[in-house]
Amino acid sequence: MSKTESTACGVAIAVSDDEPADYRPGVGIVLLSRERKVFVGRRIGMPRGWLVWQMPQGGIDANETPAQAALRELYEEAGTDKAEIIAETKGWLSYDLPAPIARTAWGGRYRGQRQKWFLMRFVGEDIDIDLSRHEAEFDAWKWVAPKKLPELIVEFKRPIYVSLLDEFRDHLGG
């Protein structure tokens, strides 16, 4: 069953438990520090003028649960396994890629992504984050206040971030 919700940005996002074939299945991670700040990485290779900071996210491999994919993606993108899952989104959140990107991303097979997001508590120290442990997708990282997240992400993903702030608000604090 799928429904559309409007966000604070005035953009509609799909919240769904269906399996739409034209959306790449994926996961996202909201990694929360002891100080209730969120990990963001600066994407490598983004077009000039684009916002480049985002939370870790990626695809779900065959025979992998969403939770397993989230832990793997966290290790691949942030270089750490020092985290524990404390919450997940009730449903799946999806977004459409802008047409020029959709034609080339993932071989043009998908119009966007359908994601299950996980809130994780970081249980390590900053030194446990190592962007070079895997093929680098980020070239820098930082902790940010949760309310700053929407202004750091590209516009077409912003409604997802606004939705996450709402859904995880009890864990994120003020």
- Predicted local confidence at residue 101, as pLDDT: 73
- C-beta separation of 71 from 65 below 8 A: no
Residue 1 has pLDDT above 70, yes or no: no
Convert 14-27 to b/e letters by CB count within 10 Å (16 or more is b).
bbbeeebeebbbbb
Instruction: Give the DSSP letter string of 119-140.
Output: EEEE-S-GGG--TTSSS-SEEE
Q: Which domain holds residue 75?
A: 2-172
In the predicted model, what is the mean pLDDT of residues 111-126?
95
Q: Could you tell me the CATH number of the domain that includes residue 104?
A: 3.90.79.10
pLDDT tens across 36-69, in order? 999 999 988 776 666 689 999 999 999 999 999 9
pLDDT tens across 126-154, in order? 999 999 988 889 999 999 999 999 999 98
Residue 9 has pLDDT above 60, yes or no: no
Torsion sign (Cα): 73, 30, 57, 59? positive
In the predicted model, what is the mean pLDDT of residues 121-128?
98
Q: Which residue has the higher pLDDT, 25 or 20?
A: 25
Q: In total, how many domains does the chain have?
A: 1
Query: What percent of the chain stands above pLDDT 70?
Result: 81
- Predicted local confidence at residue 49, as pLDDT: 67
Residue 164 has pLDDT above 80, yes or no: yes
Q: Which residue has the higher pLDDT, 7 or 106?
A: 106
